[in-house]
A and B are shown apart, each in its own frame.
Chain A
Amino acid sequence: MKASLFFLTDDAKILDLVRQGDEEALVRLYEVNRKPIFNFILHNHGTSDDAEDLLQEAVIILWERVRAGRYRHEAKLSTFIYGTVKNLWLRRLARRRRETNPGPDSENVPNTEDSPLEKLIERDELEWITRGLAMIGEQCRRLLLLFYWEERSMEEIAAEMGFANAETVKSKKYQCKKGLEQALQKLTGDVRRHHAR
Chain B
Amino acid sequence: MSTSHWTTDSDLLEHYVLNKLEAEQRIELESHLAFCAECAQRVGDEMRLIAGIKAAGRQALKKRLKDRLKTRTYRDIPLARVAGLAAAVVFLITIAIYTNWFVQEEDRVELETTDAHDRQTLSAEEGVKETSVTPGKAAELSVSPEIRDTRAGTAQGIPPFQSQGEEPRMRLEIVQPESKSQQPAEMLYGHTASPRTEQFAASIQGRTVWIQGTIIPQREVEGRDEVVPAEVDEARRQNALLLKQRGIAPAQKSVRGMTKEESGGVLELTQRLLGELPPSERAKQAEKEGSHIPTLIEQTDSLVQMVLFFETPVPEEVFDRATLVRVAADSILLHIGSRMIGYRLPAGFELPQQLRQGRR
Q: Which of A34, A60, A63 contacts B74 (CB 8 A)?
A: A34
Query: Across the two chains, which residue of chain A brings its CB closest to B65?
Result: A26
CB of A56 within 8 A of CB of B65, answer yes
- Complex-state Cα separation, A148 to B68, whole angstroms: 25
Say yes or no: B65 contacts A129, CB within 8 Å. Answer: no
Q: Are A59 and B50 in contact (CB under 8 A)?
A: no
Chain A residues within 8 Å of B, Cβ to Cβ = 23-24, 26-27, 30-31, 34, 38, 48, 56-57, 59-60, 63-64, 125-126, 128-130, 133, 144-145, 148-150, 174, 177, 180-181, 184
Do A126 and B69 have beta carbons less than 8 Å apart?
Answer: no
Name the one of A23, A30, A126 contacting B61, with C-beta atoms under 8 angstroms.
A23
Residues of A within 8 A of B53 (CB): 129, 133, 144-145, 148-149, 180
Give the distance in Å from the alpha carbon of A190 to the alpha carbon of B139 in the complex. 94
Q: Is the interface of B mostly helix, strand, loop or mixed?
A: helix
Contacts A23-B68, A129-B52 hold; do A60 and B61 have CB atoms under 8 A apart?
yes
Nearest Cβ in chain A — how far from B81, in angstroms? 15
Determine if B65 and A148 form an interchain contact, defined as CB atoms under 8 angstroms apart: no
Pick from A30, A64, A133: contact of B58, CB under 8 Å = A64
Shortest C-beta distance, B144 to chain A (Å), equals: 47
Chain A residue contacts of B74, Cβ below 8 A? 34
19 contacts between A and B (CB under 8 A): A26-B65, A27-B69, A27-B72, A31-B72, A34-B74, A57-B62, A60-B58, A63-B61, A125-B48, A128-B52, A129-B52, A129-B53, A133-B56, A145-B56, A148-B50, A149-B56, A149-B58, A180-B53, A184-B49
Question: Given that A148-B50, A174-B10 are known contacts, is A126 also in contact with B56, CB under 8 Å in the complex?
Answer: yes
- Report the Cα distance A184→B52, complex, angstroms: 11
List 7 A-B pairs, minimum CB-CB distance, nearest first. Answer: A149-B57, A129-B52, A148-B53, A145-B57, A149-B54, A130-B56, A26-B65
- Compute how far the CA of A150 lies from the CA of B52 in the bound complex, rounded to whole angstroms: 13
Most buried by A among B54, B57, B60, B62: B57
- B288: CB under 8 A from chain A? no
Q: A123's closest neighbor in chain B, by CB?
A: B55
Bound form: Cα–Cα A174–B68 in Å? 34
Q: Which residues of B have CB within 8 Å of A27?
A: 65, 68-69, 72
When C-beta atoms are compared, the residue in chain B nearest to A131 turns out to be B56
Interface residue range, chain B: 20 to 34
* B66 at the binding interface (Cβ < 8 Å): yes
Give the complex CA separation of A52 and B55 in angstroms.
19
Q: Mark B177-198, 1 if CB is under 8 A from A, else 0.
A: 0000000000000000000000
Is B64 an interface position by the 8 A CB rule? yes
> In the complex the two chains form, is B52's CB within 8 Å of A125's CB?
yes
From known contacts A129-B55, A181-B49, infer whether A60 and B68 are also in contact, taking CB-CB under 8 Å: no
B56 touches A38 (CB 8 A): no
- List chain B residues, Cβ under 8 A from A150: 57
B33 to chain A, nearest CB (A): 20
The distance in angstroms between the C-alpha atoms of A128 and B49, with both chains bound, is: 10
> Contacts A60-B62, A63-B61, A145-B56 hold; do A30 and B50 have CB atoms under 8 A apart?
no
Q: Is the CB of B49 within 8 A of A180?
A: yes
Contacts of B76 in A (CB 8 A): 38, 48
Q: Check if B56 sits within 8 Å of A24, measured CB to CB.
A: no
Q: Mark B66-80, 1 if CB is under 8 A from A, else 0.
A: 101100101010000
